[in-house]
Amino acid sequence: MILVTGGLGFIGTHTVRALLDLGEDCVVVQRRARDLPAFLDESRVAVEQADITDRDALPSIGRRHAITGIVHLAGSYPWPPVPDAPVEATRRALDGLLNIAQSAQEWGVRRLGVASTIGVYFGAGHDGPLREDAPLPMSAPVSIPTFKKVGELLGGFLADTTGVDIVDYRVSGTWGPLGHRDPFFAGPALVHAAARGTVPDLSHLVAPAFAEDGLDLNYVKDTGRAIALLQLAETLKHRTYNVGSGRVTTNAQLVEAIRTVVPDARIDLPEGGTAPHMVLDTSRLREDTGYRPDYDTERAAADYIAWLRAGHAN
């Protein structure tokens, strides 16, 4: 049985679905009460409401369930930043990771997978696909990659000292059902606007969106399956894996894909965009798990729009 923190969140829900499809039952841990999505088999998913930053909340979960592995997807960073209490926010962000690592050791789990981000490569140079062995800069422009870098360093130390197989998943830009407006790329907002027949509101983005802007975008169903495959692989040769599509998707390509489903969508973006295209090298993931994405951009856009038009909120 695999425990998934944040297992009813965006990527977490799809990871749980992929684990179920691969034959594993799951325990999901959520800080806030949340209904189980209809596409998850409630007979095979146990829901535990707990705050992983509370060390005392975890031991009883291990007593109630025979946990063999952990996928840690719950937020381990303060976002948005908390300027009035930065020290306490930092303490809580790291407590969750440390508590989960301690539980993994106590429960004798085989593998602990920890979500990281493509953002750790900011400033590392972009001459071709980004490899896991690329040197990373010590600084980062926002809190998420900062905390993920710290988490990766801590994970390596804890793996060496506890004997737990701790693996980091550097997840690319991810979009799809149950998602939310992302501050770093326009895709989700464009899809939602097309499905509703409105003009997209892009005011939440940290920078203006242009047609030629691009990123390694992975559909969330593929992201969840990749994480599940990494969690269940008999052996892994590395501690760090890129999880993405391995290709760039520009906003212009995304707009074109959306218009194959909604031809009159009002989602034009201005031409331009000078930001480098960050693309992950997914060789390790493919070689060690056999993973291949199931969704190209057009199929993903059609699936997401169908989900929204079926009456789902996200």
Residue (of 256, 258, 177, 252) closest to 219 by Cα position: 177
CATH 3.40.50.720 in the chain, residue ranges: 2-174+218-243
Structure confidence at residue 141 (pLDDT): 78
Structure confidence at residue 214 (pLDDT): 93
Of 3.90.1150.10, 3.40.190.10, 3.40.50.720, 3.40.30.10, the CATH number of 2-174+218-243 is 3.40.50.720
Each residue's pLDDT, cut to its tens digit, for the chain (314 residues) gives 999 999 999 999 999 999 999 999 999 998 887 788 888 888 999 999 999 999 999 999 999 999 999 999 987 665 555 556 778 888 888 899 999 999 999 999 999 999 999 999 988 776 789 999 999 988 877 788 888 999 999 999 999 999 999 999 999 999 999 988 888 899 999 999 999 999 999 999 988 999 999 999 999 999 999 999 999 999 999 999 999 999 999 999 999 999 999 999 999 999 988 778 899 999 999 999 999 999 999 999 999 999 999 987 66
Q: The tokens of 276 are what?
A: 């480098």
Which element (helix H / strand E) includes 308?
Answer: helix 297-309
- Pairing type for strands 45-49 and 111-117 reads unpaired
Dist CA 224 CA 40 (whole Å): 13
Q: Are 314 and 177 in contact (CB under 8 A)?
A: yes
Structure confidence at residue 183 (pLDDT): 85
Dist CA 97 CA 87 (whole Å): 16
Of 3.40.50.1360, 3.90.25.10, 1.10.10.10, 2.60.40.1180, the CATH number of 176-216+246-279+294-309 is 3.90.25.10
Strand, helix or coil at 157?
A: helix
Q: How far apart are the first and last CA of the chain?
A: 28
CA–CA distances in Å: residue 314 to residues 65, 80, 140, 178, 304: 31, 20, 30, 5, 9
CATH 3.90.25.10 in the chain, residue ranges: 176-216+246-279+294-309
Structure confidence at residue 91 (pLDDT): 85
Q: Which residues, 6 or more positions from 160, have their beta carbon under 8 angstroms from its beta carbon?
A: none
